[in-house]
Amino acid sequence: MPADRRDHDATALAAAFAAGNTDPVEATQAALDRLERLNPALNAVIHPRPERSLAEAAEASHRWAKRRDASSDHGDMPLDGVPMAVKDLGCEQAGEFHHAGARFLVDLEWRGTLDSHLYRLLRDAGMISVGRTNTPEFGTTITTEPAAYGPTANPWDLTRSPGGSSGGSAAAVAAGIVPVAHGNDGGGSIRVPAAACGLVGLKPTRGRVSTAPRLGEHRGGFAVDGMLTRTVRDAARCLDIISRPAPGDPYVAPPLEPGASFANALVTPLPRLHIAVSTGIPNRASEPVRRATEQVASLLDGLGHRIETDTAPDGWFSPDIADQMIVVRTVGMAAEVAGWAERLGRPMTADDIEPANWWSAELGRSLPASAYVQALEELARWRRRVMSFWDPSPFGRPGTPGDDRWDLLLTPVLADVTPPLGYLSDPLDGARRIADLAPFVNQANVNGQPAISLPTAHDPDGLPLGVQLHAGHGNEQLLLAVAQQIADAGGLIPLGDLPLELP
């Protein structure tokens, strides 16, 4: 994998298809070859689909040949024929294994019964899934170490966590198996693995990507689907593909202006922006993480933006929201377990579910319905309090002294370097360690606002470190434009030859 991220991203691959330099069959076979060679060490892809992916690639190759013969462009299918991977949580595919990291679904050899709205959009865009990726059980933690399938390793160091819960997808992209992969983010689950594996991880606005037809207000609306990518331009093009609402969605993000697209936002001139920077309460972020954040703040300052350090929304790091989030998440877990009991026609037991999730479901079952409603109301009050911080205009406005609104907030993704496998899954101290490591990610899930993780530095051992930018509700265009500005200024670390020599 060359040092320039753009050389082998999805956009470059589609351009090679258009030029006739390669075709989707050749690209998909190459992805499958890399999967066969690298996956035994990584355990990133748990359900390969070689035959189906090659058949779909042949159809895409035929479409590209027709376009070239007609000297036409690729219209609204800019990533037609590009190989990808799908996280084995959500994004249901009819007839494909779908186990969500759960042992009882592995034992049942459970398969999807329909194509989700999201997968239909990806499929209709011509993108080709080479397989489904590993995830912790029900995606409830920020490392990927399910009992059902075992841990996924970080391609930069096989002893380190790839993050989670989209760790399998992140490892597959970072290792060069595929250029992009699906993930979802209910508590940093796109941004954390992007930071750990040196990728771009965009968490879209709540309602930007539909959860139809299976899910509605899933766990209080905290979670949203998205993609892990090597480049900002791929993140924009993927969001253009998957951001189409379905009838009856409980949340719908603000639509773009007619004729606008997320990809076009990358070339839109930016005004001088008003950007706040925070590394949390004193001593919350480690020295390498603080340095990485300060480095990006300095770069943005050099690009002409107005930067103010040690600034965040009032209450952004308040511990008051933690108890309410526990209520929402544990009640959600109880509902998840009850839903599977109904679908299977039998009670679920502690033998079916990993201990941490069984404890969570038991706590959720013990709470009255009023506690859930009260928690949502408390979080809504907190959300209104902190979201007044952001300027709501689509591309921000010139940052001038005296402004009381901000265009962006820059923070770390994690408070420290990527931990070793086993550190966050420890049965005694895992929950406390997760809380200590991840004080910067849950806010965007509660608020439903967009946030993007960018790989901008290395830790002392040479592994990636990520920072994140938060924007106002519905303002992914601004996030992507600034992220591209950072990339164009050389602010992203190369995704070149990994320090690791994979077998």
The question of whether 66 is a catalytic residue gets the answer no
Catalytic residue among 87, 166, 210, 278: 87
Which structure tokens are listed for 301? Answer: 């300052």
Which structure tokens are listed for 61? Answer: 């190759």
Torsion of CA 189, 190, 192, 194, to 10 degrees: 150
The question of whether 61 is a catalytic residue gets the answer no
- Count Cβ atoms below 10 Å from residue 426 Cβ, excluding itself: 12
How is the beta sheet containing 306-308 ordered, strand by strand? 45-48, 128-133, 83-87, 180-185, 224-229, 200-203, 451-458, 464-471, 408-412, 274-277, 306-308
The question of whether 165 is a catalytic residue gets the answer yes
3-state helix, strand, coil in the chain (%, to 5): 40, 15, 45
Q: Which of 320, 307, 266 is nearest to 485 (CA)?
A: 266
Cα distance between residue 125 and residue 147, in whole Å: 34
Cβ-contact 464, 160 below 8 angstroms: no
- Count Cβ atoms below 10 Å from residue 1 Cβ, excluding itself: 17
Which structure tokens are listed for 91? Answer: 């994004």
Cα distance between residue 319 and residue 207, in whole Å: 26
Q: What angle do helix axes 476-488 and 232-242 make, rounded to 10 degrees? A: 160
- Count Cβ atoms below 10 Å from residue 429 Cβ, excluding itself: 11
| Residue count of the chain | 503
Q: What string of DSSP letters covers 127-162?
A: -EEEEEE---GGG-SSS---TTT-PPPBTTBTTB--
Catalytic residue among 169, 189, 360, 453: 189
Catalytic residue among 61, 161, 165, 425: 165
> Could you list the active site residues?
87, 165, 189
